[in-house]
């Protein structure tokens, strides 16, 4: 890791806030269309009864990503986390390669379709299903041009507009949730009860089974393979070793707090506005209705525009990030290729992989394919399948001095949490399989 840019180590609280960077990237990557749909759908169908899944998901993400970042900063070998997984066995690296490219496709599938749905709804559903497909094709071509022809630097100007729109949507959801709670203060007690009632599965109502919704929520918010992106973010920030561990933890948990606030607000909107009316989220218009109910027509515009920017930003970001992890994994099993290109960014396979992740999901936008809401729930539920491998691998890596060094080995409570995470992931996988059988 020699020669990397090093960031100044903050000393004051204000400097810590100013240093918040990888966490911002994480929020923009994590809190996307999946959170919007899963939280709104769970709140609409089951009120606060499944909110414990949100608690579990955020705990899962915080613990796993914190240990991942600790290894990235503190391991004595100055190697990437992917390199550590490869040392567990070449077969582990091959599993990660398959996982990175598999999830790059399925995440891209619902994110590309979601960004197209946002613009399609803003256009008044012009052209019907073929109109939706046309929007998706245009957005796919623009994404390919951004990363293939114009260069990554051009995208930052578009992202500024995205961040403004996302901020407006966030403020609207927070305001709507605050108004809803002010009208029904008892909702706070229900929210707390739902957040701690871990494992309670209420009777199924509406189009989505409760166990399926819980698994989808854990998959969307707890994340899986996408958690590997945070170590790349901190590396890009210039945090290179254990001196940055304190600011890294501040950065990560501030990001988690932001996600908690946003997701809780979206869940509250579903639970307080849609649930009492018996409205289940089967389309984006159902989510928009909740905001229209409080803030008028502008609420629908913000939901549609917000869906577009969150889905599109994450579509491009995850394509690049997951392919980065995939090529990094390939370099671990093909050291001669790593020696030739030095880094994944220089490897031409990285660009080809991004094209794959941006272009192949277009098949899911064709007329007759599953709807956007189902795709989000189903594909996020699939995210939990890889979690046991990731968590068990971390359990080994973070407990052996030969990997992380004696000083930074896991504490007993970190190991306990990882074991709990593995159990939750296995429970989620079981319920996912049972929901398919039903």
**Residue 268 to residue 264: CA distance in whole angstroms:** 6
Q: Token digits for 370?
A: 């599953």
Tally: H helices and E strands in the chain? 20, 0
Dig out the tokens for 254 from the structure. Answer: 């501030």
pTM score of the predicted model: 0.88
Report the candidate in 272, 253, 225 with the shortest Cα–Cα distance to residue 104.
225
CATH class for the region spanning 13-437:
mainly alpha
State phi, psi for 87 to the nearest 5 degrees.
-70, -15
* Residue 195, both tokens: 């957040």
Whole-angstrom distance, CA of residue 150 vs CA of residue 158: 12
State the greatest distance between any 2 C-alpha atoms of the chain, in Å, as a whole number: 64
Round to whole Å and give the CA distance between 408 and 396. 13
Q: What is the structure's pLDDT at 225?
A: 86
Please identify every stretch of the chain with a pLDDT value under 70, giving residue numbers as ranges: 1-6, 31, 148-163, 165-166, 220-223, 435-438
> Which pLDDT score is estimated for 153?
47
Is 42 in contact with 194 (CB distance < 8 Å)? Answer: no
Dihedral pair phi/psi, residue 75, rounded to 5°: -70, 140
Instruction: Give residue 246's pLDDT.
Output: 93
d(C-alpha 32, C-alpha 263), whole Å: 10
**What's residue 155's pLDDT?**
47
Q: How far apart (Å, rounded) are the C-alpha atoms in residues 290 and 292? A: 6
| Strands annotated E in 267-372 | none
What distance in Å separates the CA atoms of residue 9 and residue 15, rounded to the nearest whole number? Answer: 9
What does the pLDDT read at residue 338?
92
CB 293 within 8 A of CB 205: no
DSSP string computed for 259-292: HHHHHHHHHHHIIIIIGGGT---SSHHHHHHHHH
User: Which residue(s) pair with 263 in the sheet?
Assistant: none
Contacts of 161 (CB under 8 A, 6+ apart): 309
pLDDT in tens, 293-329: 877 888 888 889 888 988 888 898 889 889 999 999 9
Q: Angle 297-333/128-145 helices, nearest 10 degrees?
A: 50
The Cα 291–Cα 289 span in angstroms is 5
Rounded to whole angstroms, what are the CA distances from 156 to 108, 146, 160, 226, 231?
20, 10, 6, 21, 21
Give the phi and the psi of residue 205 in degrees, each rounded to 5.
Answer: -135, 150
User: Do the beta carbons of residue 38 and residue 278 sit within 8 Å?
Assistant: no
Rounded to whole angstroms, the Cα distance separating 264 from 258 reads: 10
Nearest Cα residue to 329 out of 137, 92, 75, 1 = 92
How confident is the model at residue 302, as a pLDDT? 84
Residue with tokens 């996600």: 259
Q: What is the CA radius of gyration of the chain?
A: 21
Q: Are 39 and 217 in contact (CB under 8 A)?
A: yes
Residue ranges per structural domain of the chain: 13-437
């Amino acid at each position: 890791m020699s020669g990397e840019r090093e960031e100044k180590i903050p000393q004051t609280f204000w400097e810590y806030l100013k240093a918040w960077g990888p966490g911002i990237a994480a929020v923009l990557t994590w809190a996307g269309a999946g959170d919007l749909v899963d939280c709104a759908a769970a709140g609409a169908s089951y009120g606060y009864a499944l909110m414990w899944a949100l608690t579990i998901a955020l705990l899962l993400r915080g613990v796993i990503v914190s240990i991942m970042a600790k290894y990235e900063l503190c391991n004595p070998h100055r190697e990437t986390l992917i390199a550590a997984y490869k040392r567990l066995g070449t077969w582990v690296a091959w599993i990660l390669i398959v996982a990175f490219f598999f999830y790059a496709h399925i995440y891209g599938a619902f994110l590309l379709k979601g960004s197209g749905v946002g613009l399609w709804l803003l256009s008044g559903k012009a052209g019907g299903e073929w109109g939706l497909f046309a929007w998706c094709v245009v957005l796919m071509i623009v994404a390919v041009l951004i990363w293939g022809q114009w260069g990554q630097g051009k995208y930052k100007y578009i992202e500024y507009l995205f961040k403004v729109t996302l901020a407006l949507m966030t403020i609207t959801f927070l305001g709507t949730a605050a108004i809803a709670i002010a009208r029904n203060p008892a909702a706070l007690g229900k929210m707390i009860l739902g957040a701690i009632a871990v494992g309670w599965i209420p009777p199924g109502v509406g189009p989505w089974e409760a166990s399926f919704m819980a698994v989808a929520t854990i998959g969307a918010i707890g994340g899986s393979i996408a958690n590997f992106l945070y170590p790349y973010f901190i590396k890009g920030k210039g945090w290179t070793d254990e001196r940055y561990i304190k600011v890294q933890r501040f950065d990560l948990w501030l990001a988690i707090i932001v996600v908690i606030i946003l997701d809780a607000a979206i869940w509250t909107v579903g639970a307080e506005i849609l649930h009492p009316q018996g409205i289940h989220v089967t389309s984006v218009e159902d989510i928009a209705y909740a905001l229209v109910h409080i803030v008028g027509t502008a609420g629908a515009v913000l939901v549609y525009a917000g869906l577009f920017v969150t889905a599109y930003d994450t579509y491009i970001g995850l394509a690049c990030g997951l392919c980065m992890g995939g090529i990094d994994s390939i370099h671990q099993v093909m050291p001669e290729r790593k020696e030739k290109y030095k880094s994944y960014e220089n490897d031409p396979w990285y660009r080809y992989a991004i094209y794959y992740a941006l272009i192949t999901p277009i098949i899911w936008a064709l007329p007759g394919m599953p709807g956007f809401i189902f795709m989000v729930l189903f594909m996020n539920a699939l995210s939990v399948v890889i979690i046991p491998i990731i968590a068990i691998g971390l359990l080994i890596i973070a407990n052996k001095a030969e990997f992380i060094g004696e000083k930074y080995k896991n504490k007993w409570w970190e190991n306990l949490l990882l074991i709990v995470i593995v159990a939750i992931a296995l429970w989620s996988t079981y319920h996912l399989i049972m929901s398919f059988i039903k």
